[in-house]
Amino acid sequence: MKRLILYAGLVLTLTVRPPGAAVSAQDGTDPAGQQNEEGPTLVISYGLNAGAYFAHDGTANYYNGSGRHNLEEAINRRHNYNRIRESLNYDFELHQLPADMAYSPAIMVGIFGGLHFTDRTALYGSANFTRLSAQDQFTLELNRPSFIEGDNIKAYSVYGKEERSEIMIGLRHVYHSSQSYLHPYFELGGSMTGTRIRQNGIRIEGSTYTIRKPADRYYNVRDDGIGFGVWAGSGVRMDVGESYAFDLGVNSNYTRINLGEHNNYQLQFTLFVRLYLSHGPSRAG
């Protein structure tokens, strides 16, 4: 999926024109550089995205050790059990798993491009990337002799890390105002989200242990993949001079996150700023 984003960026780089460049929908420009009057003018905009990504927590429990990649099975593997027992000084058993793991907000970065049919309406596309982490606590019960004082229940961390890549394509409509540099907009379209699991493990007394099945890595078994959805967004565009502009906005993406048995359609939110390196049509007069 990251290669797909890089390819999209390369295509954008090779196809865009300098800031403010326009092409005729029919014949483009003549050799003298004058704009052709035969058809409507199409204008290209492009730039960079950055923002905060808020993932729905519905898929976070994939990492809690209750599913196919089982935490209890992992700690009872002979080499893991012996290491953990040595660090705890006692035999032990699993006591409880977390039931409500949650993702932390993450940074999103990406690129975007637009093909403007008029000064208000455009076909927009973006390619974005983010790294997510989820963490909670599980508990072990120590098998200590009854005459030894202290709590036999110990809490430790279970965590997961993943990468998501999004490609979003849709239509955008800007409500231009000749009296202001601020222009509200609305956009909607379809999305493709690729998910890649990077880590799923536990931390006990300073040591880390993976809870993923060892054979999966050997046989390249994957629980992740691509899901499709729809998205909508709104915000405000701010013009800065003739060639630059900013967007401040929010997107909601109702998409399937392909992550093991946790693969339902859910809403993901992004708060973002866009920097236009070429912002398309000038303000309406």
pLDDT for 274 equals 95
Residue 24, number of CB atoms within 10 A of its CB: 16
**Residue 152: CATH number of its domain:** 2.40.160.20
- Please check whether residue 206 lies inside any domain of the structure: yes
What DSSP designation does 20 have? T
What amino acid is encoded at 9 in this protein? G
69 is a domain residue: yes
> How many domains does the structure of the chain reveal?
1
183 within 8 A of 174, measured Cβ to Cβ: yes
- Quick one: pLDDT at residue 278? 79
Question: What's the one-letter identity of residue 256?
Answer: R
The pLDDT of residue 281: 67
Domain assignment present for 284: no
| Closest C-alpha to 235, from 254, 224, 249 | 249
What would the two tokens of residue 90 be?
A: 């006692």
* Confidence at residue 110, expressed as pLDDT on a 0 to 100 scale: 97
Q: Is residue 22 part of a domain?
A: yes
Name the pTM for this structure.
0.81
List the chain pLDDT tens, one digit each, 285 residues.
545 454 444 444 433 444 344 444 444 444 444 444 444 578 898 999 999 999 999 999 999 999 889 999 999 999 999 999 999 999 999 999 999 999 999 999 999 999 999 889 999 999 999 999 999 999 999 999 888 888 899 999 999 999 999 999 999 999 987 778 899 999 999 999 999 999 999 999 999 999 998 888 777 888 899 999 999 999 999 988 776 789 999 999 999 999 988 888 999 999 999 999 876 665 543
Tokens of 124: 């927009």
Helix (H, G, I), strand (E, B) or coil at 201: strand
User: CA 82, CA 100: separation in Å to the nearest integer?
Assistant: 29
The tokens for 238 are 């701010």
Q: Please indicate, yes or no, if residue 19 is contained in any of the structural domains.
A: yes
Q: How far is CA 136 from CA 85, 99, 133, 188, in A?
A: 22, 9, 10, 35
Q: Supply the range of the domain harboring residue 142.
A: 2-279
Residue 285: inside a domain, yes or no? no
Q: Are 116 and 44 in contact (CB under 8 A)?
A: yes
Q: What pLDDT shows up at residue 40?
A: 58
Residue 271 forms part of a structural domain = yes
